[in-house]
Chains A and B, each alone.
Chain A
Amino acid sequence: RKEVEQDPGPFNVPEGATVAFNCTYSNSASQSFFWYRQDCRKEPKLLMSVYSSGNEDGRFTAQLNRASQYISLLIRDSKLSDSATYLCVVSYNAGKSTFGDGTTLTVKP
């Protein structure tokens, strides 16, 4: 079993749709959680950190459920520019990060 598992995707959605990505992790000692976005042929860029209380940044909402070892990302009102690969990242100390395989989203007009 992989340490971090994501929905395999790909997700193809129309503009304006709401889409949700899920991620599970196996290390219960994990301390910090992130969603990254990676555009084709580009480096990953931090989208948002994820907290147990949940956090929202505009159209993006992230949730963490430590009991279930589960992380989610919700994108509302999808835009064409949201098309990218979304990476779930879990860290159990300041140096050790494990990346999920990523979920590819394509938003179509």
Chain B
Amino acid sequence: SAVISQKPSRDICQRGTSLTIQCQVDSQVTMMFWYRQQPGQSLTLIATANQGSEATYESGFVIDKFPISRPNLTFSTLTVSNMSPEDSSIYLCSVGGGGVLLDYGYTFGSGTRLTVV
């Protein structure tokens, strides 16, 4: 399975600022996914990042707040813009979901623990 390097692993940010999270994959992948995991909750998909096209956002998430870049098949960034304390969460990137039966599952980066003060 793919190996993902995600950074930063954690950050404490002032409200109103922005943070860019990076994910580097050791192999070329078509789709990368960005998730948010709020304290004590499960993962929620923010968007799907495809190389060469705009990201596809899930309901409740917008490009102005979470701009995504996907410059090539091994790299993606997620920016959390104009942060507020409600954005405090763990952000994870993920790849996978392939296979003939779509049963390969997903590999996750180690996550970015964001605290907004």
Contacts and interface: CB of A to CB of B under 8 A. Distances in A.
A59 interface: no
Given A100-B42, A102-B42, A46 B92 contact: no
B45 interface: yes
Given A91-B97, A101-B42, A32 B111 contact: no
Interface in A41-61: 41-46, 49, 51
Given A99-B43, A101-B42, A94 B102 contact: yes
Given A95-B48, A96-B45, A100-B42, A43 B92 contact: yes
Given A44-B43, A102-B42, A93 B102 contact: yes
A42 B43 CA distance: 12
Given A42-B110, A97-B97, A91 B102 contact: yes
By size class, the interface of chain A is: 20 to 34
Interface of A: 31-32, 34, 36, 41-46, 49, 51, 87, 89, 91, 93-102
Closest 7 CB pairs of A and B: A46-B105, A43-B108, A49-B103, A32-B102, A99-B42, A94-B97, A99-B43
Interface of B: 1, 31, 33, 41-45, 48, 56, 92, 97-98, 101-111, 113
Given A32-B102, A32-B103, A95-B33, 6 more contacts: A44-B108, A49-B105, A51-B101, A94-B98, A97-B45, A99-B42
